[in-house]
Amino acid sequence: MWKYMNQEMCNQFLLSLHLIDGDLSDQEKIKLLYTISNTIENQYEIIKIKKNSGKLRTIYCPHPLLKSIQRKILHQILNHKSISSYAKAYHPHIGLKENALPHVHQKRILKLDIQDFFNHIQFINVYESCFSLAYFPKPIGMLLTQLCTYHDDLPQGAPTSAYISNLVMKDFDEEIGDWCSQRNISYTRYSDDMTFSGDLIPADVIRKVKQYLNPLGLKLNYQKIHVINHSQQQNVTGIVVNEKIQVPRLYRRKIRQTMHYIEAYGLQSHLEKIGYQKSPERYLNHIYGQVLYILQINAQDKEFQIYKDKLKEYENSYTFSV
């Protein structure tokens, strides 16, 4: 039906999306949206962050007006589109725990990583998955796609990018998920991290994943292929899954040690000994957050329930912001 819409009708449709607030006239709002989309390369601050590997990660921070527009696109348009049940990142009430649960007590785990995930999701992928003629008049769909991309890529740092990545990957998730289900293999994807588990043959899974990724222009990172047997510690996005979901022993041990020092020597003495320069409140909030993370993964952990209660006893002297 969109082919019968003239420019004036398209403009009215665009205004109905309410992407810009303020007292501007309708004509000024339309002009501003097209001006931003036509100068998109000037609408971001580019930040380089060093990763643990020593390599740099590029973050694209949209300027305030573009960020506001992107947030409206996210909340008013994108969030109403369903994603695959196999996607476990960037979705309310779903996260690391849900990503790990399907892989508990499995014979073998295969972990795969998509190389330069966001950078290889292209303009055409975003348009076809989110803003195509199935949803919008073509001029509007192209404008919305332009507002959500940078140099024809999906910018890591824009509010819209995470959810868009799930929409772009929806067909892939369903196809590979169905293929796995037929072979009694569990599959989940957390952003660019794919996890497969069961009595699987890694080479067969890798071959099929490559086949399904290829139409999207995506490739595997062969340096991050890991096969983990049940006799080893099976870790899925930071959670141990050999027998039950649990935060790794080392993470728990460090918190246990910290709590011992605080109780044995007092908070202030402990902070002085470790040379902590920031406020005690900040330190307590940090530890409290770590304890809450462990309880989020395993709410029945009695030891860390006790730590949570002990930390809350400091409320008389320090204020928690968590």
Q: Please give the pLDDT value at position 318.
A: 62
pLDDT digits (tens, 9 = 90+) for 106-162: 999 999 999 999 999 999 999 999 999 989 999 999 999 999 999 999 999 999 999
- For the ranges 2-6, 14-18, 211-215, 254-258, the lowest mean pLDDT is seen at 2-6
**pLDDT at residue 319, rounded to an integer:** 55
Average per-residue pLDDT for the chain: 93
Instruction: Work out the average pLDDT over 225-242.
Output: 96
| Helix intervals (H) in the chain | 7-15, 26-38, 64-76, 96-100, 123-126, 138-147, 161-168, 170-181, 202-213, 249-265, 267-274, 280-297, 302-312
Region 214-228 average pLDDT: 96
pLDDT in tens, 3-40: 677 889 999 999 999 999 888 999 999 999 999 999 99
- Rounded to 5 degrees, what angle do the CA atoms 37, 157, 247 make? 160
Per-residue pLDDT tens over the stretch 67-81:
999 999 999 999 999
Q: Please identify which residue in the block is written with the tokens 């006790």.
A: 306
Give the per-residue pLDDT at 156: 94
Is residue 51 scored above 80 in pLDDT? Answer: no
pLDDT digits (tens, 9 = 90+) for 277-299: 998 888 999 999 999 999 999 98
The candidate with the shortest Cα–Cα distance to 4, out of 132, 128, 131, 138, is 138
What is the average per-residue pLDDT within 201-218? Answer: 97
Residues 6+ apart with CB under 8 A from 225: 110, 111, 112, 113, 202, 206
- What's the whole-model pTM score? 0.89
The DSSP bridge partners found for residue 56 are 50
How much is the pLDDT for 322? 47
State the pLDDT confidence band at 317, using cuts at 50, 70 and 90. low
DSSP 47-60: EEEE-TTS-EEEEE
pLDDT exceeding 90 applies to what percent of the chain? 82
